[in-house]
Structure 1
Amino acid sequence: MNTDNLSFPQFPSRESLTIEFKSDPKSGLPDKVVVETVVGLANAEGGTLYVGINDDGIVSGVRTPRWRDPDLAAAYIASHTIPPVAVVAELVEAGEGLDVLVIEVSKATGIVATNDGKVLKRRLKIDKTPETSPLFPQEFISRLSEIGRCDYSSMILPNTSYADLDNDERRRLRSFIRDNRGDSTLLELENEDLDKALGFVNETPHGLLPTVAGLLLIGKKASIRRFVPGAGAVFQHLSGTEVLANEEIELPLLRSFDALLDRFRARNTEVEITQDLVRIAIPTFSERAFREALVNAFCHRDYTILNRVSVRFTDDGLEINSPGGFVSGVDLNNLLTVEPHPRNALLADIFKRLGLAERTGRGIDLIFEGSLVYGRPSPDYSESTEENVRVFFPKCEADVNFFRLILEYQKRNGKPISIQSLMVLTAVLFSKRITFEGIVAATKLPANRLKRHVETLVEDGLLECKGSGSERDFILSPKFYKAQNREIEMVRQSGIGSVRNDELVMQLAREKGCITRADVMQILSLEAQPAYRLLRKLTDQGRLIREGDRRTSTYRASS
């Protein structure tokens, strides 16, 4: 049988990080190829191996007897991996007399190897195509940290000593705690007790020795450079192709943080508005969001990688890069919903006690809020990879009237708006008119959680609901459009597909107070004569009252 063009919709069409195809030629599929592929998937994100599908997605069928028996295949894999990898295997009929062995591989909770000692990992190459390649010994700590089995920041590195900690940095740390309203009880401790309380040192048979966290926060510069060479940061400011600043900052973490914050403040411009007789500054970038994103970069980065945290200003926006991908269980779709679990647990705890990090671990909410509250797009994490987390804050004008709407709402309710409600409102803002399903897709939040927030926003008058049942759409409050003299746009959004032309005109008249023929031409996309006839009909019906002479006629609702 010629299988060159056979493909089946029940199988994926291409390979990915979690999907691998293996053909089973007449000469047989080598056992070690299957075992090594399973190990690679287990040491990455898990996934599915399809035996009997070519690399191009064409089904060619499984032939080898061992791989045609799911129980035998699962047993063979378990006996040839250390520790044994338990897979779920199933022989699936593909049609045309062909079968495919589908092997489901779970993500390992440790590091697994083949029984002959090969440790491999599934990765994406630069061109985004997958490959199974060696997981080298120097990557083991990184992998274990990623899946929460090892806290590198709490480890003691060889050849370090208590003398590697700097007393001047310790004094600076105490000042930082006072300035940032950190844990004040720490200020009452002597130096050695302070180091123990924060986990800067551990007791060993050789005396007190510094942890990685201790070196990072109060280590001497020479010691940091020697033992944690990837620490520190890079700051860049680019304008087009011109490099305005390019600095390497080789300092302990708190000093690096302050240095980057100073450079951010020097470049972050503001405009002022007046709200209820109070002057309020609207920054180009939210400082609180920047602080939280920078804390995340330092706290959750992989310190076994030699690259540094980088902050880059460009004409398009602000970018923060952090070495190491997302920790296990975190991806682009669940950033705002997944339970926080840091890569460096000790370092994260220290940041909270110093008053640097958000104490609930939900700093990601503040990062998003800092953009959304001003009616700007969400921070963009889409360019993150398994080697790097990148967050980009687009540089764009604030929507002042949206910001005012939020301020009024918060004042009326006496509390800040929730991040979920804020995401709903900005989804409606950017779409102008959107269904509930559209809101779910735009926010990537669970529908059952969003439903309550949408209903509350409608009840509170920030959203208007149009239609009923499954046909419901949502638009922003008329108050938002009126503040910008955009009643025509508001009425158009209200009436799409649901209100006849005469009702749209009446609604516009009620919203604006009085309307002209030009208004009707704009809202209904009509020529002059049809617009005039519609206005005359509504006037003859007594629904509109005409005022002024022919050239300057205006129309208002009769009641």
Structure 2
Amino acid sequence: MTILLPPKESLTVEFKSDRARLSDKDLIEAIVCLANSEGGDVWLGVEDDGTPTGLHPDHHVLDGLIGLVASRTSPSLSVSVVPVMINSIRVACIKVPKARGEVATSGGVYLRRRLKHDGTPECAPMLPHDRVSRAATFGLIDVSAQPVAGATLGDLDPLERERLRQAIQHFGGDRVLLELDDEALDGALGLTARQPDGQRVPTLTGLLLVGRESSLRQLLPTHEVAFQVLAQQAVKFNEFRRFPLLKALEWLETNFRPYNPEEEIQVGLFRVPVPKVDMGAFREAIANALIHRDYHRLGAVHVRLEDDALVISNAGGLVDGVTLANLLTTEPRPRNPALADAMKRIGVVERSGRGVDTIYRGLLRYGRSAPDYTRTDSANVVLRLPTDNADLSFLKLVVEEENRRSAPLPVDSLIGLSALREHKRMGADELAGVIQRDVPSAKRTLEALVEAGLADAHGATKRSRTYTLSASLYLAVGSKAAYTRQAGFSEIQHEQMVLSYVGQHGRIKRAEVIELCRVSPGQALKILKRLVEQGRLVLHGERKGAYYMLS
């Protein structure tokens, strides 16, 4: 395995000079620092500017470093050490795993890696609240079920408890809760916990849901909600509040509605509303930000309406086990389980825990772009909901299909339709990555769309079969030529077009095949691969520099 020296230090890369023999203490602290963050690599024998200067003679026996790390960390950390030669200079890459929980030096020092304001990394002390926050990220403790230090029953607001009961009725929550008195309700939703002496005290969940605003300011200063409206970089609305969560949701919804215009379309006997932002997706996205945020970190939950999107962000990255690559399919893993369970029983969020499906459906059903989580990092979750114009013809066909089956279209089907709209033509293997499922599941999704008349299949064999939006969909949006262009060209015609292009221009790249044949990146690669296998083209270069010429 070839390991390349990174160009500079980052959150997961640390350079350590070894010319004067790096002390064991500094080496162990650098390793602990990475382990308590995202893990990464310590490059021993490399200067801060990335220049390799080599290992000190005392570190030439690399096996000794593994034992040193294990004996100087608590709990013992298992690292791997890889020797690397760079321009005849020997350095070592110490690969540090991300620790589950937290790791200290044998001297009791806790450190974590973070980025400074200028984007450069540093090791910083891991304070008690950092340790609790990390444990919550891994699901080792439920902070939301813990009593809040200094809080008493007097910090709970009777008016907010009444708001909670009204919310249960409004959102269709667990109606059994309405039959309980205040003490039983608090116990059922985890709003209070009993101390060893029998006294009840508010939990974090209780304070967040039915706490007095003054108590939230004093006892939970990290909690804050902001609503901002930015129009062409001008601030039209910018207010911060420390309301309890149910009141905060009402406040956000009330202030957002004037900025959320709605039109209607006629589908059969029904009039279907078409808002700028689907309110179900709006409510679910904000509730998720409030439920899953890290209440040990400073920073408001920001709800910001920009010219082309609604952006919702909260402090605290994704919890352990949840990534952008499995967001659609992973089992629910709330950072604050007690708070999440209470909000589900009240009815504010999706009871199945699949609120992300509601968010996706709230955009894709209207022919808008999919939710965008790509700005999420280890410190913040950032969700961008595009507010581009709805595709009314597409929405009409979706509503007609939903009326026909008397059920909403599955979210995988909506994602599949969106992907076909974007990429024009796809195979099951390509869609599998988009819906974050295996190829057979993607195949079933595509075939279900074909059966519903929303997609067309092309290709005689299952292995080579590709899919486009159906002729009826293209017809509905007034683009007959687009369908003919996608469905009318056979594989042989695509190959001839590529060969003709190379004959005229001398070479072709994959991006040019995509534009020429109007196919997806995967389909373009398959066309080029077939021509290479047939001996008609020859591949030159690698990766982004790859191009093809006649053989």
State which of 317, 327, 352 in structure 2 corresponds to 1:335. 327
More off after superposition, 254-263 vs 401-410: 401-410
- Which 5+ residue runs of structure 2 have no aligned equivalent? 498-515, 518-551
Equivalent residue for 2:526? Answer: none
State which of 93, 114, 117 in structure 1 corresponds to 2:108. 117
Equivalent residue for 1:248? Answer: 240
Equivalent residue for 2:125? Answer: 134
Cα deviation, residue 305, structure 1: 2.2
Equivalent residue for 1:281? Answer: 273
The 5-angstrom pairing of residues 249-264 of structure 1 reads 249-264=241-256
Aligned amino acid, residue 18 of structure 2? P
User: Quick check: 1:36 aligned with 2:43?
Assistant: no
> Relative to 1, partners in 2 of residues 1:13 and 1:447: Cα closer, same or farther, differing over 3 Å?
farther
The 5-angstrom pairing of residues 134-153 of structure 1 reads 134-153=125-144
Equivalent residue for 1:485? Answer: 478
State which of 408, 433, 437 in structure 1 corresponds to 2:400. 408
Equivalent residue for 1:365? Answer: 357
Task: Render the CA deviation track for 1:249-298: whole Å, top value 9, x for unaligned.
Answer: 23211111111111222221112111123211111111111111011011
The 5-angstrom pairing of residues 218-237 of structure 1 reads 218-237=210-229
Equivalent residue for 1:318? Answer: 310
Task: Render the CA deviation track for 1:497-532: whole Å, top value 9, x for unaligned.
Answer: 63659xx9xxxxxxxxxxxxxxxxxx99xxxxxxxx
> Relative to 1, partners in 2 of residues 1:38 and 1:116: Cα closer, same or farther, differing over 3 Å?
same
> Relative to 1, partners in 2 of residues 1:271 and 1:409: Cα closer, same or farther, differing over 3 Å?
same
Q: Distance in 1 between matches of 2:445 and 2:130?
A: 43
Q: Is the 8 A contact 2:435 2:442 kept in 1?
A: no
Q: Is the 8 A contact 2:18 2:44 kept in 1?
A: no
Cα deviation, residue 437, structure 1: 4.6
Instruction: Classify the secondary structure of the residue corresponding to 1:465.
Output: strand
Q: Distance in 1 between matches of 2:235 and 2:88?
A: 63
Q: Distance in 1 between matches of 2:57 and 2:446?
A: 56
Equivalent residue for 2:542? Answer: none
Instruction: Classify the secondary structure of the residue corresponding to 1:122.
Output: strand
Q: Is the 8 A contact 2:225 2:241 kept in 1?
A: yes
Q: Distance in 1 between matches of 2:305 and 2:420?
A: 29
What's the TM-score once normalised by structure 1's chain length?
Answer: 0.81
Cα deviation, residue 435, structure 1: 4.2
Equivalent residue for 2:540? Answer: none
Instruction: Classify the secondary structure of the residue corresponding to 2:132.
Output: helix
Aligned amino acid, residue 227 of structure 2? F
The 5-angstrom pairing of residues 37-186 of structure 1 reads 37-53=30-46, 61-66=54-59, 68-70=61-63, 72-87=64-79, 89-92=80-83, 94=85, 99-126=90-117, 128-186=119-177
Q: Distance in 1 between matches of 2:157 and 2:82?
A: 63
Cα deviation, residue 56, structure 1: 5.8
Equivalent residue for 1:554? Answer: none
Cα deviation, residue 349, structure 1: 0.7
Q: Distance in 2 between matches of 1:408 and 1:250?
A: 43
Q: Distance in 1 between matches of 2:238 and 2:88?
A: 63
Q: Distance in 2 between matches of 1:12 and 1:256?
A: 48
Q: Distance in 1 between matches of 2:322 and 2:70?
A: 28
The 5-angstrom pairing of residues 534-545 of structure 1 reads none
Task: Render the CA deviation track for 1:89-139: whole Å, top value 9, x for unaligned.
Answer: 244454865555343333222221112232111223445544333222332
> Relative to 1, partners in 2 of residues 1:283 and 1:16: Cα closer, same or farther, differing over 3 Å?
farther
Q: How many correspondences in the alignment? A: 495
The 5-angstrom pairing of residues 371-450 of structure 1 reads 371-450=363-442
Q: Distance in 2 between matches of 1:69 and 1:343?
A: 39
Larger radius of gyration: 1
User: Quick check: 1:203 aligned with 2:198?
Assistant: no
Task: Render the CA deviation track for 1:301-348: whole Å, top value 9, x for unaligned.
Answer: 111223221212222221112122222222222211222111111100
Aligned amino acid, residue 302 of structure 2? S
Cα deviation, residue 21, structure 1: 4.5
Q: Distance in 2 between matches of 1:79 and 1:298?
A: 41
Q: Is the 8 A contact 2:147 2:201 kept in 1?
A: yes
Q: Distance in 2 between matches of 1:316 and 1:189?
A: 45
The 5-angstrom pairing of residues 342-361 of structure 1 reads 342-361=334-353
Instruction: Classify the secondary structure of the residue corresponding to 1:434.
Output: coil
Instruction: Classify the secondary structure of the residue corresponding to 2:177.
Output: helix
Q: Distance in 1 between matches of 2:361 and 2:465?
A: 27
Cα deviation, residue 459, structure 1: 4.0
> Relative to 1, partners in 2 of residues 1:16 and 1:178: Cα closer, same or farther, differing over 3 Å?
farther
Q: Distance in 1 between matches of 2:2 and 2:52?
A: 11
Cα deviation, residue 176, structure 1: 1.5
User: Quick check: 1:456 aligned with 2:414?
Assistant: no
Instruction: Classify the secondary structure of the residue corresponding to 2:491.
Output: coil
Cα deviation, residue 174, structure 1: 1.4
> Relative to 1, partners in 2 of residues 1:73 and 1:280: Cα closer, same or farther, differing over 3 Å?
same
What's the TM-score once normalised by structure 2's chain length?
Answer: 0.83
Cα deviation, residue 232, structure 1: 3.7
Equivalent residue for 1:300? Answer: 292
Q: Is the 8 A contact 1:154 1:199 kept in 2?
A: yes
Q: Distance in 2 between matches of 1:127 and 1:301?
A: 25
Q: Distance in 1 between matches of 2:128 and 2:379?
A: 17
Could you say what the CA RMSD is over the residues aligned between the two structures, in angstroms?
2.8
Q: Distance in 1 between matches of 2:108 and 2:213?
A: 39
Aligned amino acid, residue 356 of structure 1? V
Cα deviation, residue 355, structure 1: 0.8
Q: Once the two structures are aligned, what percentage of the paired residues are identical?
A: 37
Aligned amino acid, residue 203 of structure 2? T
Aligned amino acid, residue 315 of structure 1? D
More off after superposition, 130-139 vs 189-198: 130-139
